[in-house]
C-alpha cells in the first residue's frame, strides 16, 4: 500500500519524516542557525543551507509534511496572517480586483481596507454562502470555508469553475477544516492558505501559517516574497508544529465528536439560539459540507442573547476557558463582537477540545443553567 492510500492517522504520523537511519531519531531536533558554513569557493550554491532566513532544514521538513497532507508544495510563514497577506501582496497589483469573504477572518478585511485599497486594489466583500457576483475582471477570489466565525460553507468546486472561466485565481483559507477535513486543491482551487496556529498543530503553543499550491510559478513568487520580507517561522516553532501533526487525526476525531454532541445539546435548549455546526443535517451549510468535506471541525457557534450572559456562562464553566483562537486541546469560547466581527453581542464561537464528551456536555449544561 502506497503512502497516498494510507489513512489519515497513518499519514499524519509519518508526514514529512526523513528516511530511517539507525541511531537517528524519527524526527530530528530543531536546527538553530542564522549563518551556516559556506564553501570557500562556491559559496551558498554548494549546499542547501546558506543563511537562516531563506534556509532551514527543520522548516523544510515541516513544509514537506504539510505539503503531503494538502497534496501540494508548501511554504510556511510566521503566522496565518503573514501567509494570507503574503499571498495577497504577491498576486495583486494596483487596479486589480479581489473578492474577499464578508464573514471571514476580520483581520483580512482590516488589511484589505487599510492596505490593499491604499495600494489601488479594488476590494469586494461577498458573504461566504453567496450570492456571488460576476467574476469578470476579478484577479483573485479568496474563500474561507467553513467561514470563521459564522461557519457558512461555499461550494469550492462550483466557485472555482466559474472564477477560472473568467480568468481569476482562487484561494481557499483552509484553517477551520484543516487538510484532513477538506483538500481545496482537489476541488479546483489554485492555492491554499491557512493558519497552522489552530487545529493543525492544536497545542496552543505556537504561531504558524502556510501556503500550498501545485502552481510552481505561484509557489516561487510566494517564496520570494516570504524570503524578502522575512516572515519566516523559527526552527523551534517548526519542530513543535511537525511534532504536533502526528496526533492531528486523533485530535480532530474527538473535537468533531464533541462538537456534534454539543450542537445537539445547544439546539435542544430554548435559552440558546442560532446554533451553527455544518455537520448537523438541519444546518444551512449541511448539504454542501456533507458533499465537500471529509470531516467537520470542532467549532460551534451560537447566541446567548447578550454580553452579560456570555460572561456569566464562561465564569461558571469549569472546563471551558475564555480565550480566542480555536482548534486546541482545551475547550475554549469567546464573544466575537469584542474582536471586531460583525456579530450580535451575545454571539459565541465555541472551540471543542479533546475532553471526554460526557464531561464537556455536563459542564456546559451546568454553566448555562448558572448563567440564567
**DSSP strand pairing (332-335 vs 273-276):** unpaired
> H helices of 166-302, where?
216-229, 235-245, 248-267, 286-292
Is residue 341 among the annotated active site residues? Answer: no
CA 228/CA 234 separation, integer angstroms: 16
Instruction: Write down the catalytic residue from 55, 103, 173, 341.
Output: 173
53 labelled catalytic: yes
Phi/psi class of residue 97: alpha, beta or left (left: φ > 0; alpha: ψ in -120 to 50)? beta
* Burial class of 255 by CB neighbour count within 10 A (0 to 12, 13 to 18, 19+): buried
Marked catalytic residue, from 198, 219, 260, 335: 198
How far is the CA of 84 from the CAs of 78, 91, 128, 244, 295, in angstroms?
11, 11, 17, 22, 24
Buried b / exposed e over 4-38, threshold 16 CB at 10 Å, is: eeeebeebbbebbbeeeeeeeeebeebbeeeebee
Does residue 60 have an active-site annotation? no
Q: Which residues pair with 74 in a beta bridge?
A: 212
Candidates 11, 33, 80; CA nearest to 235 is: 33
Quick one: how many helices (H) and strands (E) in the chain?
11, 12
How many other β-carbons are positioned within 10 Å of the β-carbon of residue 368?
20
- Say which of 105, 190, 210, 295 is annotated catalytic: 105
Q: Of the residues 36, 51, 53, 269, which is catalytic?
A: 53
- In this structure, are residues 231 and 86 in contact, taking their beta carbons and an 8 Å threshold? yes
| Residue 103 annotated to the active site | no
**3-class secondary-structure state, position 56:** coil
Catalytic machinery residues: 53, 105, 173, 198
Amino acid at each position: 500500500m502506497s503512502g497516498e492510500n494510507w489513512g489519515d492517522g497513518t499519514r499524519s504520523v509519518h508526514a514529512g519524516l526523513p528516511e530511517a537511519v539507525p541511531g537517528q531519531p524519527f524526527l530530528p531536533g530543531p536546527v538553530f542557525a542564522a549563518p551556516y558554513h559556506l564553501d570557500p569557493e562556491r559559496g551558498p550554491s554548494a549546499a542547501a543551507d546558506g543563511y537562516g532566513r531563506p534556509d532551514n532544514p527543520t522548516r523544510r521538513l515541516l513544509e514537506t509534511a504539510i505539503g503531503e497532507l494538502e497534496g501540494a508544495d508548501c511554504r510556511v510563514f510566521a503566522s496565518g496572517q503573514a501567509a494570507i497577506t503574503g499571498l495577497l501582496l504577491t498576486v495583486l497589483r494596483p487596479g486589480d480586483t479581489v473578492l474577499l469573504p464578508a464573514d471571514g477572518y476580520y483581520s483580512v478585511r482590516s488589511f484589505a481596507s487599510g492596505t490593499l485599497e491604499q495600494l489601488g486594489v479594488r476590494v469586494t466583500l461577498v458573504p461566504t454562502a453567496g450570492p456571488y457576483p460576476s467574476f469578470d475582471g476579478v484577479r483573485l477570489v479568496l474563500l474561507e470555508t467553513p467561514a470563521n466565525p459564522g461557519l457558512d460553507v461555499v461550494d469550492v468546486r462550483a466557485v472555482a469553475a466559474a472564477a477560472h472561466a473568467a480568468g481569476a485565481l482562487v484561494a481557499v483559507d483552509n484553517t477551520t477544516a484543516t487538510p484532513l477535513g477538506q483538500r481545496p486543491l482537489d476541488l479546483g482551487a489554485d492555492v491554499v492558505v491557512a493558519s497552522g496556529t489552530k487545529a493543525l498543530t492544536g497545542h496552543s503553543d505556537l504561531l504558524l501559517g502556510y501556503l500550498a499550491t501545485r502552481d510552481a510559478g505561484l509557489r516561487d513568487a510566494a517564496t520570494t516574497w516570504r524570503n524578502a520580507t522575512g516572515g519566516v517561522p523559527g526552527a523551534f516553532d517548526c519542530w513543535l508544529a511537525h511534532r504536533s501533526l502526528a496526533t492531528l487525526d486523533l485530535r480532530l476525531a474527538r473535537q468533531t465528536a464533541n462538537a456534534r454532541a454539543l450542537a445537539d445539546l445547544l439546539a435542544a435548549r430554548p435559552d440558546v439560539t442560532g446554533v451553527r455546526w455544518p455537520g448537523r443535517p438541519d444546518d444551512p451549510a449541511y448539504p454542501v459540507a456533507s458533499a465537500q468535506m471529509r470531516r467537520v471541525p470542532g467549532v460551534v457557534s451560537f447566541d446567548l442573547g447578550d454580553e452579560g450572559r456570555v460572561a456569566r456562562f464562561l465564569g461558571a464553566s469549569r472546563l471551558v476557558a475564555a480565550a480566542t483562537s480555536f482548534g486546541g486541546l482545551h475547550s475554549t469560547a469567546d464573544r466575537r463582537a469584542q474582536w471586531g466581527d460583525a456579530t450580535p453581542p451575545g454571539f459565541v464561537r465555541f472551540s471543542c477540545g479533546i475532553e471526554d464528551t460526557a464531561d464537556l456536555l455536563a459542564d456546559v449544561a451546568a454553566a448555562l443553567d448558572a448563567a440564567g
